[in-house]
């Protein structure tokens, strides 16, 4: 911890030297304005207390300054009230000036660095970072001045606050070294932890003040009130200063690239201890893999043999594990893929009938990473020449898979279906690319019939859709005879429920095969027997339309309209208009 603190302070020193060298006047001015803002806030909080005290007294209290006793009570109350408003307005003015000076100084810093545009919103990041730095510097100056003032008028309070800071530093250091959970909390919830520490510090100062009045020699009432307000401000400024400096430290790579000539923007790599990759080192993965299998499968004699299995998804890794006669697939998800792990586990816990997936074993956590375990039959990944045929086969099997009713209910309560996502605002964007009269006519007709399209899609039963159908995600089991059997899919983290036909390839030749696949699926799902081929093709084309619109491939989206309108017209002719309106 202290080594990291030393490195951070060294970097802050170099950053300070850069700012004071390039924009010394602006930096000093912002620090001064920030101090004015903080003092104005303090006085705007202090003066109302005096007004309330005077309102509850018939005369000016004797512990007020002697000069106040010479002023009429009502005049003094009015003057203090006006002063409160004045300090609040001064605070607002100082904040406006801080924003203005920050903008000027940031522009000068970026101009002096002479860098290309490095990333989006770099001006906003530079401005906010420079303001954080200035605010942290001003908070440090404020804390030093406040402790010095307390040391002059109320030395015991200054000693209590300083001692508390030292105790917190030692406590944090000890917990950081001994507790991984506390280290994780400091990294993920630093502002909340600092706020809690600041609140405890204020109550310790308040408790000492009360004890001093009861048992020892207390200061004057005015000094006590000011000390209490200052202790509150000191704790808040200390928490804010550390939070600001920590935020700057997290942006070090970008700030170095923005402000320093000799620095370039390097990709920000995840720290090794926060990544799952150390768990995959060949020499160390057998231990946790064996522990996971013992927990979810049960203890079994035999060595554990692990080998890498490519899943084709960034931040999701796979291991094929052999133990005895059984083979397993273990999938480990990075923190930013946790939602995919939970989504996949939700489907596997309530699997669809005839789901083209390996047999579900269970889910657990390895350290802080989600881990899913499947029992994998003997087999292999397909050759490139086999992928197209197997993908077509898997799409047909997804039509036949019957989602679990509970999973369907949970999904419908949580996520929108195609007919809900295909909104007017999404389709209207096609106007920007509709150049020909024919395209404009087709688009106008689609916009007019969009409610009918939504009704047709809403009436269709839902089927499973899996966008991860590729070579890495397909596994081809081998039977005892050595012949391949039905393929299975290994990646289900992005599954969804869509109207039947959605996700089927929209090109002419593959789309023509949808009817045959639908007839085969009817053997497993009788409810699909009432679905016309035109309805399923309509869903496939509507799904492709939404996809192209979201990708802003408006030319390709417009090319889909004639075929989509053709299916819609066919279905409209079959369904009686009165029935459509009744729905």
Q: What is the pLDDT of residues 100-148, one digit of tens each?
A: 887 787 777 767 665 555 555 667 777 777 778 777 887 888 888 888 8
**Residues 424-450, mean pLDDT to the nearest whole number:** 92
- Candidates 3.20.20.140, 3.30.200.20, 3.40.50.720, 3.50.30.50; CATH matching 275-375: 3.30.200.20
Q: From the CA atom positions of the chain, what is the Rg in Å?
A: 34
pLDDT band at 66 (very low <50, low <70, confident <90, very high): low
Model confidence at 266, in pLDDT bands (50, 70, 90)? low
> What band does 259 get if pLDDT is binned at 50, 70 and 90?
low
pLDDT over threshold 70, residue 176: yes
With cut-offs at 50, 70 and 90, classify the pLDDT of residue 553: very high
Concatenated DSSP letters of 488-525:
EE---TT-EEEETTTTS--SHHHHHTHHHHHHHHHTT-
Domain boundaries, the chain: 2-259, 275-375, 386-582
Residues 48, 67: Cα–Cα separation, whole Å: 19
* 2-259 CATH, one of 2.30.30, 3.30.420, 1.20.1560, 3.30.160: 1.20.1560
In degrees and rounded to multiples of 5, residue 379 shows phi and psi of 170, -155
Q: How confident is the model at residue 480 (pLDDT cuts 50, 70, 90)?
A: low
Three-state secondary structure readout of 354-396: CCCCCEEEEEEEECCEEEEEEECCCEECCCHHHHHHHHHHHHH
H or E element: which one contains 305?
Answer: strand 304-309
Q: How many Cβ atoms from other residues are within 10 Å of residue 421's Cβ? A: 17
515-548 confidence digits (pLDDT tens): 999 999 888 888 888 889 999 999 999 999 999 9
Q: What is the pLDDT of residue 69?
A: 62
Mean local confidence (pLDDT), 347-355: 84
What 8-state DSSP symbol labels residue 298?
Answer: -
CATH for the stretch 386-582: 3.90.1200
Rounded alpha-carbon distances, angstroms, from residue 71 to 59, 66, 78, 112, 384: 10, 10, 11, 56, 94
Q: Is a pLDDT exceeding 50 seen at residue 580?
A: no
Rounded average pLDDT over 248-266: 66
The pLDDT > 90 percentage for the chain reads 30
């Amino acid at each position: 911890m202290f080594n990291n603190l030393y490195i951070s302070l060294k970097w802050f020193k170099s950053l300070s030297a850069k700012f004071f060298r390039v924009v010394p006047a602006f930096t000093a001015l912002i620090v001064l304005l920030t101090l004015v803002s903080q003092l104005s806030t303090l006085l705007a909080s202090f003066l109302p207390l005096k007004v309330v005290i005077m309102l509850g007294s018939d005369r000016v209290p004797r512990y007020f300054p002697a000069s106040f006793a010479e002023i009429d009570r009502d005049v003094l109350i009015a003057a203090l009230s006006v002063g409160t408003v004045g300090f609040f307005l001064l605070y607002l003015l100082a904040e406006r000036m801080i924003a203005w000076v920050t903008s000027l100084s940031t522009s000068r810093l970026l101009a002096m660095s002479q860098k290309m545009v490095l990333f989006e919103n770099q001006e906003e990041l530079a401005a906010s970072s420079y303001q954080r730095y200035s605010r942290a510097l001003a908070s440090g100056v404020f804390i030093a001045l406040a402790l010095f003032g307390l040391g002059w008028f109320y030395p015991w309070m200054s000693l209590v606050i300083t001692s508390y800071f030292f105790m917190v530093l030692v406590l944090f250091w000890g917990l950081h070294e001994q507790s991984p959970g506390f280290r994780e909390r400091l990294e993920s919830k630093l502002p909340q932890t600092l706020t809690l520490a600041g609140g405890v510090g204020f109550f310790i100062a308040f408790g000492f003040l009360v004890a001093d009045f009861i048992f020892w020699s207390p200061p004057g009432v005015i000094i006590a009130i000011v000390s209490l307000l200052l202790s509150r401000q000191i704790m808040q400024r200390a928490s804010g200063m550390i939070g600001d400096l920590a935020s700057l430290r997290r942006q070090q790579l970008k700030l170095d690239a923005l402000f320093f000539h000799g620095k370039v923007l390097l990709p920000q790599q995840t720290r090794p201890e926060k990544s799952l990759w150390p768990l995959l080192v060949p020499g160390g993965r057998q231990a946790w893999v064996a522990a996971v299998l013992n927990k979810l499968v049960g203890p079994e004699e035999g060595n554990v043999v692990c080998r890498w299995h490519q899943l084709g998804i960034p931040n999701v890794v796979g291991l094929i594990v052999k133990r005895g006669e059984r083979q397993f697939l273990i999938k480990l998800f990075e923190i930013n893929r946790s939602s995919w792990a939970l989504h996949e586990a939700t489907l596997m816990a309530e699997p669809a009938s005839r789901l083209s997936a390996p047999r579900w074993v269970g889910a657990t956590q390895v350290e802080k990473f989600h881990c899913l375990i499947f029992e994998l039959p003997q087999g292999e990944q397909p050759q490139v020449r086999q992928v197209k045929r197997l993908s077509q086969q898997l799409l047909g099997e997804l039509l036949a898979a019957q989602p679990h009713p509970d999973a369907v209910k949970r999904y419908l309560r949580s996520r929108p279906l195609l007919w809900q996502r295909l909104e007017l605002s999404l389709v209207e964007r096609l106007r920007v690319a509709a150049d020909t009269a024919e395209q404009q006519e087709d688009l106008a007709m689609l916009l007019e019939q969009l409610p009918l399209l939504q009704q047709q899609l809403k009436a269709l039963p839902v089927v499973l859709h899996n966008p991860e159908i590729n070579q890495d995600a397909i596994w081809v089991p081998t039977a005892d005879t050595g012949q391949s059997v039905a393929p299975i899919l290994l990646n289900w983290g992005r599954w969804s429920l869509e109207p039947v036909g959605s996700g089927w390839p929209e090109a002419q030749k593959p789309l023509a095969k949808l009817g045959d696949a639908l007839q085969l699926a009817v053997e497993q799902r009788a409810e699909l027997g009432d679905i016309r081929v035109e309805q399923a093709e309509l869903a496939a084309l509507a799904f492709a339309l939404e996809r192209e619109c979201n990708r802003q491939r408006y030319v390709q989206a417009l090319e889909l309209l004639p075929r989509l309108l053709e299916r819609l017209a066919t279905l409209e002719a079959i369904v009686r208009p009165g029935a459509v309106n009744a729905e």
